[in-house]
Structure 1
Amino acid sequence: MTGTDLPPRLAHLTFHGPLSEDRARRLVASLAAARPATVLDIGCGWGELLLRVLDAVPGATGVGVDTNGEDLARGRGIAEERGLAERVRFLEESALGTTRGPADLVLCLGAGQALCAPEGPYDVAAVLRELRRLVAPGGRVLLGEGFWERVPAPEELARMWPGAHEGDHPLLGALVDEAVEAGFRPAWIETADRDEWERFESGYRQGVELWLAGHPDHPAAAETRARVDRQRASWLNGYRDVLGMAYLTLVPVG
């Protein structure tokens, strides 16, 4: 079985998260206005937003850190196509305890787990403390972080990901309070809307769904079908309209 026999991975996504072109354009313009000279992207994937910021700030340099080599290779290819390869490095390494900062702009979009000890529970306060450490004085952090739109009922949690519980995410107000406690002022707060979530969730699975339709008897089809069906059910029957995504532009105090 060759790589071309297998379903494509995230080929229908521009961003690895519920982020529209319009919102991305506004965020990039706002972040670029501060003229960051250095940009650090934690859990960068293929670094689409990182590359857009570099394109908007001539002379700025960037580093993207991730542990997924396939995503990083995709990012390098995009950087080459856009003439940005000399200004960005995509590094396959853990971000836990990273010494890649401080940077003028730190991006962490749905990747806070990269800053938490893998053996412990997810700790948004620890994520924010690490981001505070990694941002240069006068810099900016763009944090994309999950939150509960409302406290989920037990039956909703049971239909989400395995082991889901109320403590997995805070409410939005509590999330912003944690950012303030970590030494930031929240300069801008916005959240993904339903259209962004639906485009992300459908795009996340689209390539695999098309592959399954065309390869029903493939040796990997049964396992792949079961995994994708679980993912889709977790969204539609569990966290849809319950889990939100906040985009917080944070400025360090002092």
Structure 2
Amino acid sequence: MDLPRFITIQESSHRIHNPLTADKLATLGQALSLAPGTHALDLACGSGELMNTWARDHGITGTGVDISTVFTARARTRAAELGVADRVDFIHGDAAGYVTDEPVDLASCIGATWIGGGVAGTVELLGRSLRPGGVMLIGEPFWRREPPSQEVIESCHAGSRADFGLLDELIEQFADLGYDLVEMVLADQDSWDRYRAAQWFNLRRWLDQNPDDELAAEVRTELDTAPARYARYEREYLGWGVFALMGRR
């Protein structure tokens, strides 16, 4: 049980595995007014930057779960670097279906709603670990504007237009699921640039060092096609954000 090696190569320099910059992650933590001792669960936590930096900056505690052995190892190393290893724990495992024994104050899944089969399933999954009155964080793509063709849709990593909503549609979906939107931090085009361009640099450096690896041809193809595809489609049509939700009473 692990992520494909291509993904860990592509994301090798990333501490945050989505187009949320460190500044925006910090902004989100500040906006939530996190109290010391807030207990959190982060499903598909990646390299644990949310849990680790918020433990350092706000005194939260909690657990991150991720399917990648590479990422969970990085998360533990980062926790030690930041002096928070006694407050956070990282588990290598499948986040799909993971529920805590005791309710948490904050439950999150940032950019990996496939663990619940989509937004609705992930909201339901996180809700099983969240205490009444707690805060849920969902990171999710949305259409910045209406995609004009199937080519655009597929180039933005979707199978159909319905895979993502426009921003207002996504917000309405949260309401239909019984949650109030109480805060949001959205990626901008520069956030996307920093995330995607770093992937290309990671791939190029790896390819220079591993020209005869079995993945070399796949990496070469990605470098040949990804930058222009990103500029033509994803940068223009795909948005992304983290949305803070609280259950309606």
Q: So what's the TM-score if we normalise by structure 2?
A: 0.86
Equivalent positions of 1:183-202 (< 5 A) are 183-202=178-197
SS at the partner of 1:141? strand
Q: Counterpart of 2:44?
A: 43
State the alpha-carbon separation in 2 of the partners of residues 92 and 215 from structure 1: 28
Deviations 1:47-100 (A, max 9, x none): 101111111233x32100111111000001111111111211111112222222
Equivalent positions of 1:149-188 (< 5 A) are 149-154=144-149, 155-161=151-157, 164-188=159-183
Q: Does 1:126 find its partner at 2:121?
A: yes
Which has the higher mean CA deviation after the structures are superposed, 232-241 or 103-112?
232-241
Q: Counterpart of 2:142?
A: 147
Q: Counterpart of 1:69?
A: 69
Contact 2:144 2:236 in 1 (8 A): yes
Percent identity over paired residues:
31
Q: Counterpart of 1:84?
A: 84
Structure 2: which 5+ residue stretches go unaligned?
Answer: 1-7
Over the aligned positions, Cα root-mean-square deviation in angstroms equals: 2.2
State the alpha-carbon separation in 2 of the partners of residues 184 and 34 from structure 1: 22
Deviations 1:147-183 (A, max 9, x none): 111121223224444x632111011111111111222
Which has the higher mean CA deviation after the structures are superposed, 201-210 or 152-161?
152-161
Contact 1:9 1:208 in 2 (8 A): yes
SS at the partner of 1:18? coil
Q: Does 1:52 find its partner at 2:53?
A: yes
Q: Counterpart of 1:205?
A: 200
Cα offset for 1:22?
A: 2.2
Contact 1:132 1:184 in 2 (8 A): no
Contact 1:190 1:248 in 2 (8 A): yes
SS at the partner of 1:240? helix
Cα offset for 1:114?
A: 1.6
Q: Counterpart of 1:119?
A: none
Which has the higher mean CA deviation after the structures are superposed, 225-234 or 89-98?
225-234
State the alpha-carbon separation in 2 of the partners of residues 71 and 186 from structure 1: 30
Distance 1:186 1:84, change over 3 A: same
